[in-house]
Structure 1
């Protein structure tokens, strides 16, 4: 699953691939924002953990991982 997080007052976004499903990511973010948690914690498919301040989140985009084609395009 591709995840892109826009952070307020930052020109770049945080982008990574995760083994978590879209529903799991949505549940984690929704819980953090409604419960007033300080941080949102997500993990990528390589074992890295990303901790983002909940107050600084501008947007989160969760999309299906696109399969990459191998070979030449004519």
Structure 2
């Protein structure tokens, strides 16, 4: 699952690729808690095991990609 996080006053967004077995509902709940002010920091662990922290006050938007990996490579349909 791909996650894209926009950060205020930053020119680029944060792009993360999560493990295929990542719990989408749990991630949504943690994002909602961060945006609602229940937590000061949103922590996400990517596919490689790296932990990424984003201050809740700096999150502009969060975009969750599809649950299944459907990236296409090349010119095929």
Unaligned regions of 5+ residues in structure 2, if any?
A: none
Q: Which residue of 2 aligns with 1:67?
A: 70
Tell me the TM-score normalised to structure 2 length: 0.79
Gaps of 5+ in 1: none
Asked whether the equivalents of residues 43 and 51 of structure 2 are also in contact (C-alpha less than 8 Å), the reply is yes
Query: Aligned residue for 2:55?
Result: 53
Larger radius of gyration: 1
Runs in 1 of length 4+ with deviation above 6 angstroms?
Answer: none
Q: Deviations over 1:13-64 (max 9, x none)?
A: 0001112232121111112233432110011111001000000000000011
Residue 16 of structure 2 is aligned to residue 16 of structure 1: yes
Contact 1:22/1:63 (8 A) holds in 2? no
CA contact (8 A) 2:3 2:17 kept: yes
Give secondary structure in 2 for the equivalent of 1:4: strand
